[in-house]
Structure formats: structure tokens, C-alpha cells
Structure 1
Amino acid sequence: MMRAIHSSAIISPAQMTAIDRAAAGSGLDSFALMNAAGSAVGEIALRRFPQALRFVVLCGPGNNGGDGYIAARRMRASGACVALYALGDAPAAGGDAARARSACAMAPAAFDTFVPRSGDVIVDALFGAGFSRPVCEDVAVVMRKVTAMDLPVLSVDLPSGVDGRTGAVRGESFTAARTVTFVARKPGHLLLPGRMLCGALDVIDIGIPRRLVDAHAGNLRKNTPAVWGQEAMVLNAAVHKYKRGHLAVFSGGPLSTGAARLAASAGLASGAGLVTLASPELALQANAAHLTAVMLKAIDTAEALETWLDDRRISAFVLGPAFGDVEKARGFVTLLRDRRLVLDADGITAFRDDPAVLFDQFATGPTRLVMTPHDGEFARLFADLAQDPALSKIDRAIAAARRSHAVIVFKGADTVIADPDGRALVNANAPPWLATAGSGDVLAGMIGAHLAQGMPAFEAAAAGVWRHGDAGTLAGEGMTAETLVQAIRPLHA
């Protein structure tokens, strides 16, 4: 059995339909492709669920159901006990699904006669990745019964009920122990809540040539080091600290200094050659008491910042973690408009009343602004996008990046990184315990370090998000933001 031909690609249901059509138009036998898909499902079911007393294959009327009929035939031929149930009308005559049903040599029972029993393994071939309407009540009842009995489910393409484009649940869905999809991942495999419902994921090559996949795939990928590793700085004997980049992080007031120190420490651990904490006078003592390798600079006013900016060796900035003073933040951002900047937390909120003021300042020249909003902060700058139910998280992030002329790191367990040019990545390596106080401050500092080293903004953000997840995994459950910083591993090209 062959694995995915494009390990990082994420393909929307519409793009997958176009790939299927292109494959048929190129002379490939579409039924042979369905046979490869269904056979893979059957083989995985037999291998992964040897404890099954009975395989129950639930087939819908479309091509997903066709895969199910072929899987049923494959499992029965191996000697397994197989029960087959069909939902709705028979597949359209003359199509591949109808051919698969005819070739199955098993008469399916009506879906509404299915009664789950202990020892069943459910092969869910009801709806494919393009499913976007609410699940009907008859199917929802079966889904709830299977879940209540804790029966293993192997889903074909996506757990039925999950929208492959957005990851949303359309009323009800199966919770799969394992999902088998073909050619490449779909957005619903990585976006929440779909990702939590897929279980282990197998991505199978069914014989569609790579050239056809590349011709119809867009600019959406899973975030991996392969995307940004070539942009990472390679250290050599001639490197000195300024060549590794000088990162500046702005501190909040005397009672709000910890977040900026976390960002600064993370920047240093992530590879910046120097990190300076730009602190208000009243916070200098609090910051000095906790800093060793991170340097300290008194910056209280726009005038002081403007003078400091004459030092062009300062190569990137982080503004926002617990900064507090939104009016000062707006003034500082104006002075930083031609510099490489990570804007987080209070730095984002500072522009909630007039986001265009921020966007216009970074509208020309190379992309140099990275913003790292969570859902609430995103809605403050992009209220219309946040409220549009037709948009997926990926759609929102891409639209926001284009509007703001910034790289958007739309945070969450399914963080999306989007560039104004339309490229986007979905991150999938973050453990759930990263949802802790200070974790976002660490991420801002990590991205700032990559900007300071000269990485392009999109790659700098992507590397920061991936390394953040990697550090969280290494730090382990129970980590704090401080131990997260200590778990940051070196960045290798």
C-alpha cells in the first residue's frame, strides 16, 4: 500500500474533485482508482482491527459509498464476517459507485435496519469530504448509538458529518478511531473540531500522478520544517552576535513585566544573538532583578524610541505582551512602520477602533508585520471575517493577511499561518497543554527571533509556531511558560 504522494499538501474538497476529473480526463480508469481506494480501506480495517467480531460497512449513495462496497468485498474475501447496509437510494446507474455495488456480490440491507452490537467495527462510508449539509436524524441516531457503545469506527475520507472544508460538525458525526483519506489531507483533518474526530490518519496514494495533484492543489500546506527549514540561519565560525540578529521586546509597566520577559527569554533561546528589553523607567528595577543575558534599555516616550531606532542593528521588534498603554502602542507602531515587527496582545487591541490605520502603515514594501491574534483579538481587527459563518479558519486567516498586508498567525490548537500572497499553513504539532498563561508571549518572542535573524516573515512565523509546538511536547504536560522556554530546541537548516 502506497502512502501520500504529497506529504505536506492540504487539498480542499473542491480541489480534490478537480483532481479526480483531471485524472479521468488524462485517461486514468476512474473505477480502478475507486478500487484502489476501497481496497486500501479494507486492508487497513483488517490490519488495524483484528479484534472485530463483525465488520459493519455503512455505505452512502455517492462515491464514498462506492469505496465502502469495495472494502466490504475485500474483507469478505479474506474470511471476515461482514455486514453491509446502504443509506438512501442506490447509486446513480452507470457511475463508479453503482459498479462497485454490483461487483460487491453482497446484497446490502436497508440502513434503518442496522442495530449495532458488541464486537462490531464500523466502516463509515456514508459521506465524503464534500459533505456540508446537516446530518439527517436517522443517521444521527445511529451515530449516537455507536458512540454510546464505544464501538471502533474506521471512516472513509472523513468521519461522516464533518465538513471537509471547514472541519465543522454538521449536526452530528462519528468519532473515528482511524480515518483513511486519499492523495492528501483535507482541511477538515486538521481544523477543529474535525481533527479531534478523525483519530489516526492514513493518507493513501491511489495512483493519481503527482503532476495532476500539483496542477490543482493550492497554496495550503501542513506546517513542517520542510516549508521553512531552508530559510534558517546556518551558524559558522565567522558568525558573531549581531549577525545572529538583535531583537527588541517592549515591556509593560512595573506590575506587568513578566510577559515581555518571557518573550525576550524565548527570543534569546530561539537563536537571536542579542535581545534587549525596552522598559519604562518605572519598570526598570523590576526587570533588572530578573534579567541576566537579556539587556535592558529605558524607553518611555516616542522621542526616546525614535532616537534608539537610529541604531539599525536592531533588526526586529516585539510589541504587545502585557504592554498596557494602547495610546503609546499606537505611537510606537507608527515609528516602527518600516521595521520588522511582531504585534501581539495589547499591540493588536490598540487598533481595534480603526484597524485601517495599522494596515495602511505596512501596505507597501516587503511583508514585515506579523500579527498573532487568538479568536478574540482577531475579531477586534476583522469583525466581519470573524462573524461570517461561510468562512473556515483558513479562509479567515488568508483574507485577514491580504487586508492587513501582514502575516497572520491565527492562534489555537489548529493555528493557521497566512501570508498576504495567499500561502497558508495549518499547524498540527501543538500539544493541548500549551494552552497556559504566557505561552503566547513565548511564541511572540520566538517569531521575533526568526525575524531578527533575517528569515522572511511567513517562514519566520511558521518556524516559530512549529518550534513552539515542539517545545511544548518536549516540556511535557504540566509545563509552565518558563519551562517552555527551557525546552526550545536549536533551529537547524
Structure 2
Amino acid sequence: MTELLTAAQMRAIETAAIESGSVTGLELMERAGQGVVDAVFSEWPDLAEGSFRAVILCGPGNNGGDGFVVARLLRDAGWDVDVFLYGDAEKLPPDAKRNYERWCEVGEVAALINGVEPSTRGVNVIVDALFGTGLGRPFDDKDLRQTLMDVIDCYDAGHGIPVLERPAFCPIVVSVDLPSGICSDSGKVLIPNDPVGRLESIRIVAELTVTFHKMKVGHFLNEGAQAAGKITLVDIGLPKNRKSRVKSIDVAWDKFFLRKRGGHKFSHGHALILSGGPAQTGAARLAARGASRIGAGVVTLGVPPSAQMEVASHVTAVMVRRIGDAGVLVRVLEDQRINALCIGPALGLTDDKSELIDTVLESGRAVVLDADALTLIASDQSLFGKLHDKCVLTPHAGEFARLFPDISEKLTAPATTGPAYSKVDATRDAAKRAGCTVLFKGPDTVIASPDGRCSINSSAYERAAPWLATAGSGDVLAGFITGLMARGFAPHQAAESGAYLHTECALSFGAGLIAEDLPEELPKVFRALGL
């Protein structure tokens, strides 16, 4: 697991370290600036071998102080450095002001609002040290907005071009801690409070973002992942014993439990997945394949009689059971070996389907509720009230809005101040209300449980998996989670592991992926994980 921090948590860690006497603010700022320079030279080694030109954009807080350190270190390395300050130097925090003064001993500082664009031609690197994690309001200063728009244009023109081959108007953009304009807790771009509607939201888009101590939540949510480019994490010597309640899922998660050790098929669980009617069985079959590949000992597809032959002609290892109504399902569930269910993929929206959901929830067994099941639950408060702690809800944004309209409205409202209400906040609130685990799907999938535990499975940066945006991939994910719960995984753990493996399968397969490929890629992923 990779721990993620909010801006307030990061400030608290820094404050505690400084107050303990183990480090000074100036020392932390020096280490941060050195970390930025080292990261730039590591990412673009050519820049470490000669004299180049940089523009440093410094803001009115400690992020700006980091920028003054970067400027001094680049000048010491033989670079030509221009520094611009947004704000009043006399109002800088003490440590930032000290580094401003140190820079002024060797160089000049120009006012940023005078416009930096004329100075960017022939610049190799622009360092964005404007706001970082400290941003609490949008960019509504007209002159600053124009300057940032010029910087964004520079970035868009040069992204991906080798540093020594770039045209004179295509500098590299490096952000300190977080691209300015992004809320560090939500990843949202803050929107100017503009009743006339003339001001668009803007933010810096970086090729490299250098952050310190721990990744921030906003690096992985919404536009944060898009704007940050590549992230480098720098250790600046802060203590690592504080724990947040938000984690990003990575290869360090508990893969140990995926191994099988002896037993017979029923000792690894029996998953029952309910199917829709004729010509609507593909989604359930995808889920069943996912549950089988991820290790459930037995998987059965429960199908309406009218779809039995259709399903039977497509499956081999998966068993088929006729389940025409809720009464039959009650009798099927007398088999106590069935310990996990999945209901919803292409199920249908008729009253008899609601009765199936009711029976599943009344059974009290582990269950994944997806797709049509979520829509039916959203329209029936009695079903919603029967959700329990062995349930996992897997909504996409539209389904989430149907289930939790007020929470969704709060999440999608324009963010005018920071910290903004985030997808993490929304998923936690939803899980608490529903009384079960909620997996809110997307490139920034968030998983939360009623006790406050929360994880982010981010398909961004080196784990970007755009090929997952294909019909049926969510059905496979539902099957992965169901199969893991059949094997004995707790709901939150099953959702985390299922989401992680879902992305890993997409990364392993690559371009051209369709949903059917995801379960078949699992054996290769397992081998790569050493299972």
C-alpha cells in the first residue's frame, strides 16, 4: 500500500517535525528545492551537462520559497535563471522570505503580473512554484490567468519532444508538489466565482511534478492525475509513522492471500452469478469467467429457463442452474456451500428482478451488486434498507448519482474553494449511508467502507489503462470481486484486490483489449506477481 496525505495532514507532519526540533523549516525547504533540481536532472540528464535557461514562477507561500531555492541551485549549476514572484515579498512566510532574500543577493525578482510570456522564448525549463498544496481559491487575477495560459500553451506545444530538440517556444514545465490550480485534496480545478461566466477554470499542466514525503490525494483524483505528468517523490527527512485513512493500491498489497494452498474445490468457495434473459446473458458470463479465473472453486450461472440453452452453449467449466423466480432462488440458496453472489449485470429492471435482489439480500451472504441491481435498489428504499456489511456496490458515476443523488450533486458542484469535496469524501459518505463497501468506478476508482477505510485504485501515470474503457470490463470486475469473496476475502479487501488485478490485466494485455481478454490475462498477471 502507498499512503496518501491531504494538505492538512502534510502541514501537520511538517509542523510537528519543526516543533520537535528535529528539523527547521529552512532545512526542509532546502531539501525540497534540491529534490526538485535532482529530479529534473534525473529525468532529463542532458540538462545536467550544460548551461540552460530557466524561468521560476514563485507564489506567495512556502511553495514559492521552494522555488527560490530551485532558482539559486540552478544558478549555482551555471544556468541563466529568471525569477518571478506573484504577491508581495514583504508578506512571504518567514522561511520563504529568507530564501527570497538569499536569491536577491545573487539575482533579481520581477513581478509575475507584469507578464512572463515574453521571457519564455528560448527557456528550457519553467518551474511552477506558485501554490502547490496550499491553494485554497481559484485563479481570478486577470494578469495571473493570462500568464498561466501562456505557460499552458508552451507546455502543449512541446510535450514529448526531447529537450535538446525542442523549438525555442517549447519549455519543459515542472511543478513543485502539485500543479498550481489543482486542489490537493480532490484533484479538482478550482472554478472562479464568476456570476457572469466569463472566467474559465485553468491550471498548470506539468511534464514532471516533484512532491515531498508522501503522495497527496489530489495526485490521483480527477484532473490531478492528468495535470501532474510524471510524479517523482522526494524524501525530505520527515517522520513516516503517521497514518492516513486513504491509500493507493499497489503491488505491495496483500497478494499473499491470492495463493491457493490445498483443499478441494468447495474449500475455495462457490459463487452464484445471476443472469439476464435471452440475448442479455453476456454480462453475467463475463462476470462468471472472471470469478472462475480469479480462483473461486465453483462458479454457477443462475439463468432464466428461456436463456438456459443460450448460456449452456457458451460455457464449459461454469455450471448452469435454472432460476426462474425468487422462489426457486430461495431453494437454490439452501445449499450453504454457495457463499458469494453477484447480481445486476444485464439483469433487467422488472419487478421480478427486484424480488431476486430482495432474496439475495435476505440471504445475508456476500454479494456484489452491479449495473441493473443498483438501478433497482436506487428506486426502492426497502431494498436499499436491506443492504448489509457483506455487500459491495460497484457504481459508475451515473449509477452513483441514482443511488446517492445528494452526495453526487455535492461532488459534481463547481469547486470554488479548497479543500474541495472529493471523490474520496463522496465514496466514504456513500459507504456510511449504505452500510457496506462502495467501489466508485472510474480511472480514479475509490473504494470505501463504513468504518472509514478508503483506497484509491488509480489507473494513471505508469498504471494508465485507457483500454479498460470498453463494454463489459465492469462486468469482469464484478466477477473478480465475487470470486475473491467466494474465496473468503472480506468485502473491502476483495474490492481492493479485484480493482488492482483488473488494471494489471489491462496493462499486461495492452492495446486492443476487449472485456473477454481480462479474465484470460489473469494467469500471466499471477505469474508476474510470483503466485
The question of a shared fold, defined as TM-score above 0.5 by the shorter chain, is answered with: yes
Pick from 120, 124, 127 the counterpart of residue 120 of structure 1. 124
Q: Which residue of 1 aligns with 2:163?
A: none
Q: Which residue of 1 aligns with 2:185?
A: 165
Letter in 2 for 1:10: L
- Spell out, residue by residue over 1:453-473, the C-alpha distance to the aligned partner (whole angstroms, 9 max, x if none): 000110100000000000011
CA shift, 1:476, in A, is 1.1
Bigger mean CA deviation after superposition, 195-204 or 14-23: 14-23
Task: Supply the distance in 2 between the matched residues of 1:312 and 1:261 (Cα, whole angstroms).
Answer: 23
Letter in 2 for 1:37: A
The one-letter code of the counterpart of 1:407 is T
- Give the corresponding residue for 2:18: 24
1:262 to 282, 286, 303: 286
Conserved in 2, the CA contact under 8 Å of 1:91 and 1:97?
no
Instruction: Give, in whole Å, the separation in 1 of the partners of 2:55 and 2:447.
Output: 40
Partners of 2:82 and 2:108 within 8 A in 1: no
Distance in 2 between residues matched to 1:60 and 1:39, nearest whole Å: 18
How far 1:430 moved relative to its partner?
5.0
Task: Give the TM-score of the pair, scaled to structure 1.
Answer: 0.93
Separation in 1 of the partners of 2:125 and 2:439?
A: 39
Q: Distance between the aligned counterparts of 2:137 and 2:93, measured in 1?
A: 25
Question: Equivalents in 1 of 2:90, 2:446: separation in Å?
Answer: 37
- Counting aligned pairs with the same residue, the percent is 40
- Matches of residues 31-70 of structure 1 in structure 2 within 5 Å? 31-49=26-44, 50-51=46-47, 53-70=52-69
Q: Is the 8 Å Cα contact of residues 385 and 391 (structure 1) preserved in structure 2?
A: no
Aligned length: 477
| Paired AA for residue 29 in structure 2 | M
Q: 1:404 to 1:228 in 2, by over 3 A?
A: farther
Q: C-alpha offsets along residues 155-181 of structure 1, whole Å, 9 cap, x if unaligned?
A: 001011111111111221111000011
Counterpart of 2:375? 349
Please state if 1:361 is matched with 2:381.
no
Structure 2 CA distance for aligned equivalents of residues 245 and 288 of structure 1: 22
Deviation, 1:492, is 6.4
Distance 1:40 1:24 in 2: 19
In the TM superposition, residue 424 of structure 1 has moved relative to its aligned partner by: 0.7
Q: Tell me how far 1:334 sits from its aligned partner.
A: 2.2
Kindly report the root-mean-square deviation, in angstroms, between the aligned alpha carbons of the 2 structures.
1.7
How far the C-alpha of 1:227 sits from its partner, in A, is: 3.3
* Structure 2 counterpart of 1:168, one-letter code: K
Letter in 2 for 1:32: E
8 Å contact 2:54–2:125 — kept in the other structure? yes
Q: What residue is the counterpart of 1:274 in the other structure?
A: 298
Residue pair 2:5, 2:217 contacting (<8 A) in 1 also: yes
Name the counterpart of 1:139.
144
- Counterpart-to-counterpart distance in 1, 2:218 and 2:182: 7
1:407 aligns with 2:437: yes
Over residues 232-291 of structure 1, what are the superposed CA-to-partner deviations in whole Å (9 max), with x where a residue is unaligned?
24323x321111111111100102010100100111111111110000000001101101
Q: Distance in 1 between matches of 2:320 and 2:530?
A: 28
CA distance in 2, matches of 1:351, 1:326: 12
- Alpha-carbon offset, residue 31 of structure 1: 1.3
Pick one of 233, 241, 253 that aligns with 1:203.
233
State the one-letter code of the partner of 1:268. S
Give 2:399's aligned residue.
377
Q: Is the contact between residue 128 and residue 160 of structure 1 (CA under 8 Å) also seen in structure 2?
A: yes
Aligned to 1:3: none
Which 5+ residue runs of structure 1 have no aligned equivalent?
Answer: 1-6
Moved beyond 6 Å, runs of 4+: none
Instruction: Tell me which amino acid in the other structure corresponds to 1:318.
Output: C
Q: What letter is aligned with 2:471?
A: A
Distance 2:225 2:188 in 1: 10
Counting only pairs closer than 5 Å after superposition, residues 61-140 of structure 1 correspond to structure 2 as 61-90=60-89, 92=91, 95-104=94-103, 105=105, 106-111=107-112, 112-114=114-116, 115=118, 116-135=120-139, 136-140=141-145
Structure 1 match to 2:512: 478
For residues 327 and 251 of structure 2, the distance between their equivalents in structure 1, rounded to whole angstroms, comes to 40
Q: Distance in 1 between matches of 2:142 and 2:304?
A: 61
Aligned amino acid, residue 350 of structure 1: L
Distance in 2 between the 1:328 and 1:447 partners? 25
